[in-house]
Structure 1
Amino acid sequence: MVTIRQNAFDFSRFTLKNATPDHCDDICKLVNMTYRGKAGWTRETDIISGNRTHIGEITAAMSRPDAQFLVVYRERLLAACIYLAKEQQHAYIGFFSVHPNFQGRGIGKHVLQQAEIIAKQQLQARKIVMFVVSQRHELIAFYQRRGYQRTDRIEEYPLHRGIGTPRVHGLTIEYLEKYIEKLV
């Protein structure tokens, strides 16, 4: 087990790098831990059972030519990951995860800002779109504090994707978006 020191982070050394196929297993484990694990400030464990993802989904997402997983390791531990995919004039963000040992220190904000800059500069995106389980109010509030806005697009929970089974009736997902044209 890797021991994490509780000191302040030097964010200049906390930079996202492109993931390789060798990272797929670590990404899968991190995403499942942060979404459906028992630790962390927000998770889906009480409302959705089963894994959030599987290695096949991660591998398929990584193999898209217009997409990339971005990762950052700290002391040999995958500390954070985020997925960016170009879709028309916008970028889609998904699989955003920060290891519970690193949560609550501003790392999520930092990673999200870096991903937004990459989406604008490398993908030429004008906005970012994501979906969130509608019943995760604290997570939606996190994104709203970072400039994401709710849209009117709400859908039933996507059982067909094999990303878990709702534990509560009426689970939905909703789409959030943020225009990033003015980012440097």
Structure 2
Amino acid sequence: METTTAGLNFRDATDADVDALVALVESAYRGDASRAGWTTEADILDGQRTDPEGVLEVIKSPDSRLLTVERDGRIVACCQLEHRDEHAYFGMFAVSPTLQGAGLGKTVIAEAERQAREAWGVTEMHMTVISVRDDLIAWYERRGYRRTGRMTPFPYGDERFGIPRRDDLRFELLVKPLV
């Protein structure tokens, strides 16, 4: 499915997008390049955020979509949508660091919610956020997500998720009704 909103082209990722999507996600969260935006995790995690295998797995999964957002033919944002019974899971959300803070993220998440609701008839969107990311959680709360207090442990020792710089990391479930 392909849609255009506010000068942005939304489409499902293909195998040919893998390298560009890995680079986008890494630039939004890891290393010095990520410091150009506000979503950086560089102070709490080193190492990778994702890899080509992880991105390809999302693209190939029958219950997932990797929504790719282009402006002027260039990938500028992405997010994972996964159908899980009555809700959808929202993850792998990345906006190019140099474009953060200008409303692009709001547009992307609103379109992702719309597409999940229309494609799967889900009534809620779920996501997990590292619990120490107060600024990011506050941003999601302004978009209608609520903290549940339900925590899951951070996968310490699994470098596919990064190398923690602190020992108090865990994920909190955020939920938003899609009505």
TM, length-normalised to structure 1: 0.89
SS in 1 for 2:35: coil
1:176 aligned residue: 174
**Distance in 2 separating the partners of 1:51 and 1:117:** 30
Q: What's the TM-score, normalizing by structure 2?
A: 0.91
Equivalent in the alignment of 2:86: 89
Distance across 2 between alignment mates of 1:46 and 1:77: 28
User: Which residue among 13, 18, 27 is the counterpart of 2:7?
Assistant: 13
Q: Where does 1:156-167 land on structure 2 (aligned, <5 Å)?
A: 156-159=153-156, 160=158, 162-167=160-165
Which of 41, 46, 51 aligns to 2:43? It is: 46
Q: Which amino acid aligns with 2:144?
A: G
Closer/same/farther in 2, CA of residues 87 and 35 from structure 1, 3 Å limit: same
Cα separation, 1, equivalents of 2:162 and 2:128? 15
- Unpaired segments ≥5 residues, structure 2: none
| Distance in 2, Cα, partners of 1:111 & 1:162 | 25
Q: Give unpaired runs (5+ residues) of structure 1.
A: 1-9
Q: Which runs of structure 2 are paired with 1:92-131 in the superposition (5 Å)?
A: 92-131=89-128
Q: Name the amino acid aligned to 2:75.
A: L
Matched residues in 1 for 2:155 and 2:21: separation?
Answer: 21
Deviations 1:51-110 (A, max 9, x none): 100111111111111111111222343111011010111000111011012111111000
Root-mean-square deviation over aligned CA pairs: 1.5
Kindly tell me the number of residue pairs found equivalent between the two proteins. 172
Partner of 2:27: 33
CA distance in 2 between partners of 1:166 and 1:89 (Å): 33
Query: 1: distance between equivalents of 2:72 and 2:42?
Result: 27
Give secondary structure in 2 for the equivalent of 1:96.
strand
Q: Distance in 1 between matches of 2:155 and 2:124?
A: 23
Give, in whole Å, the separation in 2 of the partners of 1:70 and 1:167. Answer: 30
Q: Is the 1:67–1:84 Cα contact (8 Å) retained in structure 2?
A: yes
Q: Which of the pair is proportionally richer in strand?
A: 2
Matched, 1:60 2:57: yes
1:106 aligned partner, one-letter code: G
Deviates more, 1:21-30 or 1:110-119: 21-30
